[in-house]
Structure 1
Amino acid sequence: MRTKTFRLWALAVILASGACAADKIAPKIDKQKLEAYMRYAEGYAAQVSISIDDPTASSFKGYFRLLVHLSNGPHKVDRVYYVTADGQQFVNGNIWPLNENPFADTLEHMPTDGPSFGPETAKITMVIFSDFECPYCREFAKTMRDNIPQKYPDAIRVIFKDFPIASMHKWAEAAAEASHCVQNQKPEAFWTFHDWIFEHQQEVNEGNLREKILGFVKDQNLDAAKASSCMDTHATAEEINRSLEAGRQLQIQQTPTIFLNGRTIGGAVPWDTLNAVIQLELNRPKDIPGPTAAKCCEVTIPTVVSK
């Protein structure tokens, strides 16, 4: 979650006036009025649809998490806000309790399933949301695969999550589904597929994707009939949908987006930059609690003024 200028909006006219008896009781909000206020305050354009979830508990005492779903045609983005327990103030920004990890709220919603390599006991967990058709994802994948396994074999666990942007990339979603068809037959073959699809990305198109994937399957001595059936029936589509939803909850707007122990890194950063962040995490001050758990393909939500 990107660091933003901290904003505290007093919403006495927006949120229900009754104070909560305890932090565990979520405040009642008038969603229609809140949407109107938010549309004005954030400057969202008229064509943007806004849907507001009910407040839920957060890791920050006195604040409840409020997930807001924004959509503009096929483009979807989730944003996280916070509302005070008395229902009178609305917060847009990061809250950092000094006795907690600064990325605690992000980590609370971070998925830990999916194809991975590296030990589960590693000090750093890197979660990568990627799109097989995104050229910058290809660039980052090469950077990651050329360096992490060799230089940090015991210190970093890498988890891959799918975030195909179907509105921009015609075959990304089908490739994501196929990668899980391959994984279901032979888990370790996922990373072979990952490297292969990125290496051949510029040769692949919507028309030849299936043929090329089945060629890969045969080369890996996997069952082509099973893979074909898996792709035809979209047997792994739900896995992709869950990954997309997890990414939206983490407010992902571009691919690749990398989370390194909860810290957001956007875009295909070069190795020197990534390594500097890795070193920052490996040398985290002992009094800061540890975790418990180039732009491409950016989804933008239009506002009347640029931010």
Structure 2
Amino acid sequence: GTVPKLNKSKLESYIRYVEAYTAAVTINIHDPEPSAFPGYSRVLIHVSLHGRSGGDKVYYATADGEHFFNGSVWQLGQNPFLDTLVRLPQNGPSFGAANAKVTIVVFSDFQCPYCREFARTIRDNIPKQHPNDVRVIYQDFPLDAIHPWARTAAEWAHCITDQNPAAFWTFHDWIFQHQGEIDNKGTNLKDKMLGFAAEQKLDGVKLAACVDTHLHAADIAASVAAASALGVQQTPTSFFNGRMVGGSLKWDDVNSLVQFELSRPAEIPGPPASESKDGH
């Protein structure tokens, strides 16, 4: 369709008024793009406060650029979560079959007690119940405001994975198991990490240098930014083939969401084949 004339400053002041956004809120209106919805173009609007993303909103605009609405536009015969799937990071460490029918992307935080519960649920049950059908991908979403050592723990995880990709899940299970032994400010985090490294025959000096130089800070920031843009606000938040579900789910709920994906109607296409099926 034709891309509309768009008066961005007029649209911005209108949205500010509708949503009661103060001057502290930054609104970034992207250029209109053609949409799958005949007669309308798609306008992505990114909102942030003091540099923290408040999520992306998609609006649809008429050709004259005077009428807008926001909501879900579904095209029967297309995957309903496609818009999420194309923006969902899937480059984190994974376990499960590479060609699994269901991919669960979990945004998590190593200092979060609910993440600890959910991690145990996933790790205890998926390998036994769905060894071939489900792949789980871990993505970082440290909540710095309430979990002072979560981001540093994520840096240790990346540095450990660099040294030995297979050690990530050992570390993941270990740190959740020992979460309560690390004090809230993380003053004994480094000692605990070096103890783990020694147990696993990893090079502690190299690991500490990797963490101290923040070698993976940008990777963690990218995961957080992508999650925020998708509307993630709590940990854990999981995406089951692109379907967003917040909170620490019990196994029955996880299992029913997996079964739901496995029995998806044949006329609804599944997620597009992932680019990164080589996760650790």
| Aligned: 1:190 with 2:175 | no
Amino-acid identity (%): 47
Deviation at 1:83, TM superposition (A): 2.6
| Aligned: 1:96 with 2:96 | no
Given that residues 136 and 256 in structure 1 are in contact (C-alpha distance below 8 angstroms), is that contact kept between their aligned partners in structure 2?
yes
Structure 2 residue matching 1:84: 3-state secondary structure: strand
Rounded to whole Å, the distance in 2 between the matches of 1:59 and 1:42 is 24
Aligned pairs for 1:14-29 (under 5 A) are 22-23=1-2, 25=3, 27-29=4-6
| Aligned: 1:246 with 2:223 | no
1:181 counterpart residue number: 159
Deviation at 1:277, TM superposition (A): 0.9
Deviation at 1:76, TM superposition (A): 3.3
1:192-229 C-alpha deviation (Å, 9 max, x unpaired): 11111111112113211111111111111000111010
Given that residues 107 and 262 in structure 1 are in contact (C-alpha distance below 8 angstroms), is that contact kept between their aligned partners in structure 2?
yes
Deviation at 1:82, TM superposition (A): 2.0
1:41 to 7, 15, 18: 18
| Aligned: 1:81 with 2:81 | no
Given that residues 155 and 214 in structure 2 are in contact (C-alpha distance below 8 angstroms), is that contact kept between their aligned partners in structure 1?
yes
1:13 counterpart residue number: none
| Aligned: 1:146 with 2:124 | yes
Name the CA shift for 1:273/1:29 in 2 (closer, same or farther; >3 Å).
same
1:41 partner letter: V
2:28 partner letter: I
1:271 counterpart residue number: 251
Deviation at 1:58, TM superposition (A): 6.8
Rounded to whole Å, the distance in 1 between the matches of 2:89 and 2:145 is 24
2:181 counterpart residue number: 203
Rounded to whole Å, the distance in 1 between the matches of 2:225 and 2:149 is 19
Given that residues 124 and 156 in structure 1 are in contact (C-alpha distance below 8 angstroms), is that contact kept between their aligned partners in structure 2?
yes
Deviation at 1:243, TM superposition (A): 0.7
1:60 counterpart residue number: 36
Deviation at 1:273, TM superposition (A): 1.0
Name the CA shift for 1:235/1:40 in 2 (closer, same or farther; >3 Å).
same
1:155 partner letter: D
Deviation at 1:290, TM superposition (A): 1.3
Structure 2 residue matching 1:248: 3-state secondary structure: helix
1:135-186 C-alpha deviation (Å, 9 max, x unpaired): 1111111111111111111101111100111122111110111100000000
Rounded to whole Å, the distance in 2 between the matches of 1:159 and 1:185 is 19
Rounded to whole Å, the distance in 2 between the matches of 1:267 and 1:48 is 29
Question: Mind listing any 5+ residue stretches in structure 2 that lack a counterpart?
Answer: 274-280
TM-score when normalising by structure 2? 0.89
1:299 counterpart residue number: none
Structure 1 residue matching 2:57: 3-state secondary structure: strand
Structure 2 residue matching 1:102: 3-state secondary structure: coil
| Count, aligned residues | 268
Rounded to whole Å, the distance in 1 between the matches of 2:125 and 2:157 is 22
Name the CA shift for 1:181/1:92 in 2 (closer, same or farther; >3 Å).
same
Q: Name whichever of 77-86 and 148-157 sits farther off.
A: 77-86
1:261 counterpart residue number: 241
1:288 to 265, 268, 271: 268
1:1-32 C-alpha deviation (Å, 9 max, x unpaired): xxxxxxxxxxxxxxxxxxxxx44x4x453333
Rounded to whole Å, the distance in 2 between the matches of 1:97 and 1:54 is 23
TM-score when normalising by structure 1? 0.82
Name the CA shift for 1:270/1:187 in 2 (closer, same or farther; >3 Å).
same
Give the superposed CA RMSD.
1.9
Given that residues 129 and 162 in structure 1 are in contact (C-alpha distance below 8 angstroms), is that contact kept between their aligned partners in structure 2?
yes
Name the CA shift for 1:272/1:59 in 2 (closer, same or farther; >3 Å).
farther
Given that residues 80 and 251 in structure 1 are in contact (C-alpha distance below 8 angstroms), is that contact kept between their aligned partners in structure 2?
no
1:234 partner letter: H
Given that residues 84 and 230 in structure 2 are in contact (C-alpha distance below 8 angstroms), is that contact kept between their aligned partners in structure 1?
yes
Name the CA shift for 1:65/1:135 in 2 (closer, same or farther; >3 Å).
farther
Given that residues 55 and 67 in structure 1 are in contact (C-alpha distance below 8 angstroms), is that contact kept between their aligned partners in structure 2?
no
1:249 partner letter: A
